[in-house]
Structure 1
Amino acid sequence: MSTNPSTTPRAITRRLPAAEATGLRTGARHSLAEIYRPADLVVLGLGVMIGAGVFSIAGQQAATTAGPGVILSFMIAGIACLLACLCYAELSSTMPTSGSAYTFTYVIFGEVWAWVIGWALILELQFAAAVVARAWAAITVRAIENFGVALPRGDLAGDLLAPAVLVLLTGVVALSARVGLRALWVMVSAKLLAIGAVIVVGARYVDVSNFGDFYVKPKPVAAQPTTVLEVFVGQSHAFGWFGVFSAASAIAFAYIGFDIVATSAEETVNAPKAVPKGMIRSLVIATVLYIAVAVVMVGMVPYTKISVDAPLSSAFHLIGLDWMGHVIDVGAVLGLTTVILVLIVGQTRVLFSMARDGLIPRRLAKVSRRYHTPTRVTLVIGAVAVVLAEFVPVLTMQELVVIGTLFAFLFVSAGVIVMRRRMPHLERGFRVPLSPVLPALSLVATLWLMVNLRVLTWGWFALYMAFGLLVYLLYGRRHSLLANPRTPVVEPPGRGRHRR
């Protein structure tokens, strides 16, 4: 019988020691430059959470699902995401590493589960970059045409713009993290100005009678059940309290992205304190902005007159402020640009961590001595995103991004409970209050969001994860650094961290 640790059952459940998760187990473990301050992390979170959806999701859900109650839906969704954010904050303060949920799971549950979460994060971030790039191209084309510029007919403009923005932003991330941070500050500031203009101008035209009592009589929807929840409850409904909670599930997806802030931990000054603050503050600010836009959206025009295709622009058109459409277009383009940039950053850091742990080729964990960034893995991520955006109908697969994210949320929430019992001695820069009650509520809230996804999405996710397990069995378990402790490190030790 073979005694190779990489082929024994025990190897499958091996866990990464907590001390090594942020230690110098490999030369690459601390070779990323410290560039982020607390305010930078807030900008990073806002960069990914506030995209074009801030101008559309409130109107779409009000018109089709919740009516004026969509404002309550935003509050419910914000609370659900805040619960998960608190759990991320505790684990990030304990293990400030680029791997985020992947590394947390490696320490708490073991290597196989870490691979599963890493594979799910790849699905979330890689597909999201391609999806947002396609959406960015479409919105950019529309914005240019709205300014009176004629473009070629067909999808030629969009097909060229999507890969162009991916190549540009991949280059920014690969060549300089500081340049990317500065660009992010500029673009986030500009889109916040656009959102501020929408709120301030729109607030002058709010009619409180449009809010009603925030409740619209429920209406059955004559359609075949498509989500897991609808399969169990039978007929689906729009409006009423069911509609409010259903809209909350859709709206929660707009908040997803705060978890990417955790991937910046190794590059953050005083990460155990700064990362939790950055995540929580960015989520709270995003929630306030989304609710404010929702109040303006529903208050300006009756929900029955809201256009699903361009809700906020059409609302301003109805009250005679056509010029606000240009402000919204610019804000949407900038919003999606920052989303793509942060997604590439987050994906780079997750794959970088998996590579230096040996679960994917270690060569991808090479850090450029010139640029002090994981250039190789960044270029690979950008190339894959271009291929997906060009040749895969990613816009029809958006829910795969969501289910990958929520799957990671489950493990992080459970991880807080398990780590408190298994590793109570670990120093924590932040602790979830009322544990294990709040982490348990986070589990329940995440499961609620997941059952509101389509059955078809669950099927594709199961196939994707099965393929991922096959990749692990064929490569990851044999090349894991824990299975081969004498394997040379990626870079010579002793380089230290590059400080600003």
Structure 2
Amino acid sequence: MTTITQQILRRKPIAPDGGGSPLQRTIGLFPLMAIGISCTIGTGIFFIMSEAVPLAGPAVVWSFVIAGAVAGLTALCYAELAGAVPVSGSTYSYAYVTMGEGTAMLVGACLLLEYAVSAGAVAVGWSQYLNELLGNLFSVQLPHALVNAPEEGGVVNLPAVVLIALCAVLLVRGTKESVVTNAIMVCIKLAVLLFFIAVGITGWNSDHFANFAPYGISGIAAGAGVIFFSFIGLDAVSTAGEEAKNPKRNLPLAILLALAVVITLYVGVALVAIGAQSPEKFDGQEAGLSAILEQVVGASWPATVLAIGAVISIFSVTLVTLYGQTRILFAMSRDGMIPKVFARVNERTRTPVHNTLIVAGVVAVLAGVIPINFLAEMTSIGTLAAFLVVSIGLILLRRREPNLERGFTVPLYPLTPILSILGCLWIISQLRPITIVVFLVWGAAFLTFYFLYGRRRSALEPGNAEPGPDVPLTTAIRIEKDDEL
């Protein structure tokens, strides 16, 4: 009989190419890259400026740079682990093979918080832009009670709930259909942001940068803490580990390419936004980028174009975060950590239908009744905790498995993961105490669930079935030959 200590520390063996899976490898390089770009651009830049500028002032540009630098260091660590351990579950799976079952369960709690809360926050932002679009096109505004949480004087954010439902329907239909739709939306998103830069720069006013850092270093760091929520897309790429073609090559490459595009556009849009609008006007501003263009041009049509792009592209963000959440739950369920229902795969669509519907229901509640600022900060701490584990896990895997085949190796090792760890800890220290307390309570609750449920039902527990509830490894669907793209 295994002891509790042995259960907490036991590690899952690394299976080549995911070790067989009921999921299908249908996602090539560009769709993988689109997952990263989609999940990142939109969660932040379309509406996070109204949250970050009041904290940092014009120096919010440096907040983006700092958050991007920390995310970049971690992205390098993700790229190596994604190529070495190409399975669903992202950081949860990496923690399981490097740090043990107990740590993996804690990371799973971080990821559930990260993805579910992020999807809710993005859906709330989508409803703001939808209201802006309806006003520009039809001079119609949705009732206040139906577009705001109870804390903001409303009843329920109905557009946010509808968005979650639409994404769930698409995900249930099939992974291939979802990623193709997402790739199209990403192209629209990039075009819209380039349009914002081209038009917004015509309203440039250098005076807006005069009082550059009114709240000092602490304000810049606080802004980086809120903004970090928008870098969740890097993690989303790795959730597709069991559905990616040629994962050892394509997963690392997709992560690095997505990061380069994201940081460039984030900093560019932030500079133009501050140059075109006085920092004081950002506080509490809804659909901020659309409003900026309207002020610059003196007409509603540019704002309408941006609002249309935002409505379409933020849809894709919600789609990808819901997708990532379901794949993490799939991996945890297959390992026995949570109920088997989350690992059941529909024979026709090859998607976890029950899993998707449950996730959509929970996220719809979050989006409908909780304000966006708290959702954004809770996502930040979940993301940072996951990033921490990736950097630590990389160091451990290098020591334990030096000869493991890797599609990418981190440069300047061990300096890169160490700097990533320090950067994450610094940003966490700048978050509000209530955010950290709620996060610790959530982690403690999840660990309690592990001790009561997961540790006895683990696939690694002697006598339990392995690797999953529905498809034994010996009869798992054979993975098709990987394509180059």
- Cα–Cα, structure 1 residues 296 and 138, in superposed 2: closer, same or farther, change >3 Å? closer
Higher mean C-alpha deviation, range 301-310 or range 364-373: 301-310
Q: Deviations over 1:163-182 (max 9, x none)?
A: 22211111111121111112
The structure 2 residue matched to 1:454, chosen from 412, 419, 432, is 432
Q: Distance in 2 between matches of 1:149 and 1:346?
A: 36
1:342 and 2:320 aligned: yes
Structure 2 equivalent of residue 267 of structure 1:
243
Q: Distance in 2 between matches of 1:152 and 1:19?
A: 51
RMSD over equivalenced CA pairs, Å:
2.4
CA contact (8 A) 1:91 1:416 kept: yes
CA contact (8 A) 1:134 1:395 kept: no
The structure 1 residue matched to 2:97, chosen from 81, 88, 107, is 107
- Cα–Cα, structure 1 residues 200 and 434, in superposed 2: closer, same or farther, change >3 Å? same
Structure 2 equivalent of residue 320 of structure 1:
297
1:130 and 2:120 aligned: yes
The structure 2 residue matched to 1:15, chosen from 2, 6, 11, is 11
Tell me how far 1:242 sits from its aligned partner: 4.0
The structure 2 residue matched to 1:72, chosen from 55, 62, 75, is 62
Higher mean C-alpha deviation, range 313-322 or range 188-197: 313-322
CA contact (8 A) 1:48 1:340 kept: yes
Q: Aligned letter for 2:164? A: L
Structure 2 equivalent of residue 50 of structure 1:
41
- Cα–Cα, structure 1 residues 116 and 284, in superposed 2: closer, same or farther, change >3 Å? same
The structure 2 residue matched to 1:87, chosen from 77, 80, 88, is 77
1:40 and 2:31 aligned: yes
- Cα–Cα, structure 1 residues 484 and 173, in superposed 2: closer, same or farther, change >3 Å? farther
Tell me how far 1:301 sits from its aligned partner: 4.2
1:243 and 2:233 aligned: no
1:496 and 2:478 aligned: yes
Q: Aligned letter for 1:474? A: L
- Cα–Cα, structure 1 residues 436 and 368, in superposed 2: closer, same or farther, change >3 Å? same
2:144 is paired with a residue whose SS is: coil
Structure 1 equivalent of residue 415 of structure 2:
437
Tell me how far 1:352 sits from its aligned partner: 0.5
CA contact (8 A) 2:199 2:293 kept: no
Q: Distance in 2 between matches of 1:300 and 1:391?
A: 33
TM-score, normalised on structure 1? 0.87
1:155 is paired with a residue whose SS is: helix
2:15 is paired with a residue whose SS is: helix
CA contact (8 A) 1:306 1:315 kept: no
- Cα–Cα, structure 1 residues 360 and 319, in superposed 2: closer, same or farther, change >3 Å? closer
Structure 1 unaligned regions, length at least 5: 24-28, 219-237
Higher mean C-alpha deviation, range 389-398 or range 478-487: 389-398
Structure 1 equivalent of residue 88 of structure 2:
98
Q: Deviations over 1:372-417 (max 9, x none)?
A: 1122211221122223334556753432222111111111111111
- Cα–Cα, structure 1 residues 485 and 424, in superposed 2: closer, same or farther, change >3 Å? farther
Identity %: 35
Q: Distance in 2 between matches of 1:53 and 1:15?
A: 35
- Cα–Cα, structure 1 residues 251 and 156, in superposed 2: closer, same or farther, change >3 Å? closer
TM-score, normalised on structure 2? 0.89
CA contact (8 A) 1:52 1:335 kept: no
The structure 2 residue matched to 1:191, chosen from 178, 189, 192, is 189
Structure 1 equivalent of residue 198 of structure 2:
200
Higher mean C-alpha deviation, range 122-131 or range 488-497: 488-497
Higher mean C-alpha deviation, range 127-136 or range 367-376: 127-136
Structure 2 unaligned regions, length at least 5: 148-155
- Cα–Cα, structure 1 residues 300 and 107, in superposed 2: closer, same or farther, change >3 Å? same
Higher mean C-alpha deviation, range 357-366 or range 305-314: 305-314
Tell me how far 1:207 sits from its aligned partner: 4.4
CA contact (8 A) 2:43 2:230 kept: no
Structure 2 equivalent of residue 230 of structure 1:
none
